[in-house]
Amino acid sequence: MINLPTAKQTKGFLKDNKKTILTTTIAIIILYVLGIAYTLFSNGKVDEIKKIDPATGLEVKTITSKEYTQLLDQAVRFDFYVENSDGGAFVNSNLLESVLLSPAVSSEIDAQEKIVPTIKGDIPLKYMLDVSADGSDNSMHITVSTGDYKKNLAIAKILYATVSEKTLPLLNNKNIYMLSEPHKVEIEHGPEATEEKTGTGALTYAVLGIGVCIGAIVAGILIAFARLFFKKEITDVFSYRKSDDDTLIDLTHLAAGDNKDELAHSIQYPAVGRKLILSEQALPSDLQAVLIAEDASENKYVFAQDITAVDPQLNFDEIIIVSQKNITAKSWYNTQRIQLENYPTPIKIILL
């Protein structure tokens, strides 16, 4: 049957390992704060970095979905089919769009009708002129979306003439079939990517911070618990009992200065013949004096720090091992138990 730790044992564990738990908690919280600072700093720097579209050579800018929706209102489109000289369909809409967005071509269109949006802000041209291909019939579409129907129609007519008359060098060696006149279309979502600037708020960071604190404390407790298994000294998880006949007296709940009377009592009783008291660190001299004064012959108690220092000819009625948590070495305790296998004497372990 597994015995769960008592409230006193749990309190003692937390007290003994508070340094490890606090250090781990503080370290994780510092890392969290540094992570937030780095994230905020990086986000600021990312906004300053200019990305260049390799297709057009223009700076890539994004707008919000709300702005894009306003641009798409009252959009105008016309459809056409482009045939290569070999009879195959030309469907490279990205190339045609890059040509239309190039400064040389867009400036000619702008000279006839200003390509400006109806909404405020620096809106990239790619959000107002779009070329797309229909994979089902290989037709192509040019859509104009400035947010104003009259302006869209005027620009679309200019583009219509540019395509139908093959003004663009890209279309010189191709056959053009116009499928529709410029007409109004309803578009819910445009093809270009948008970016909503929704930063993480202070409340979110606070909630995450609380979670990090709780996680840090749990991590500290787990680390402290794991360290108990790897310490060279005896800890709370050390297995003292090597035999069912062992007697275990736990005085670890008492402070070091308050356990002398209980320790003396645990050594004195039961009142049997000669006793061997083993401890890696010598017991306090005043405690030894109390025990020796009890027996005028001064041979009832034998004190030793190692079983090998004891006369093997002596017989003992009880062997007592005094172990101090976080002080007595595991190797010392295990060595004593191995040597004591030669003694058929009851063993009492007192934990301090």
Tokens for 328, please give them.
Answer: 């007595």
Cα–Cα distance for residue pair 106/57, rounded to 1 Å: 14
| Every domain of the chain and the residues it spans | 7-47+199-230, 63-185, 247-351
Query: Quick one: DSSP state of residue 64?
Result: -
> Residue 120 has what pLDDT?
82
- The CATH architecture to which 63-185 belongs is 2-Layer Sandwich (3.30)
Give the rounded percent of residues in the chain with a pLDDT score beyond 90. 39
Amino acid at 253: H
Is pLDDT above 80 for 326? yes
Amino acid at 270: P
Q: What is the per-residue pLDDT across 282-308, written as a single tens digit (0 to 9) for each? A: 888 888 887 877 765 657 888 999 999
Distance set, CA 89 to CA 78, 80, 161, 290 (Å)? 18, 11, 20, 108
Three-state DSSP state, 152? helix
Q: What is the mean pLDDT of residues 9-36?
A: 86
> Residue 151 has what pLDDT?
94
pLDDT band at 77 (very low <50, low <70, confident <90, very high): very high
| Stretch (H or E) spanning 166 | none
Q: What is the per-residue pLDDT across 192-221, written as a single tens digit (0 to 9) for each? A: 665 555 556 678 888 888 999 999 999 988
Mean pLDDT of the chain: 84
Q: What is the per-residue pLDDT across 107-129, written as a single tens digit (0 to 9) for each? A: 999 999 999 998 887 888 888 99
Distance set, CA 270 to CA 77, 283, 286, 303, 348 (Å)? 104, 20, 21, 17, 11
pLDDT band at 48 (very low <50, low <70, confident <90, very high): very low
| SS3 per residue for 188-246 | CCCCCCCCCCCCCCHHHHHHHHHHHHHHHHHHHHHHHHHHHHHCCECCCCCCCCCCCCC
Cα–Cα distance for residue pair 257/293, rounded to 1 Å: 21
| Stretch (H or E) spanning 297 | none
Q: Which of 31-45, 154-168, 300-314 has the lowest mean pLDDT?
A: 31-45
> Residue 163 has what pLDDT?
94
> Residue 41 has what pLDDT?
76
Q: What is the mean pLDDT of residues 313-332?
A: 90
- The CATH architecture to which 247-351 belongs is 3-Layer(aba) Sandwich (3.40)
Q: What is the mean pLDDT of residues 160-169?
A: 93
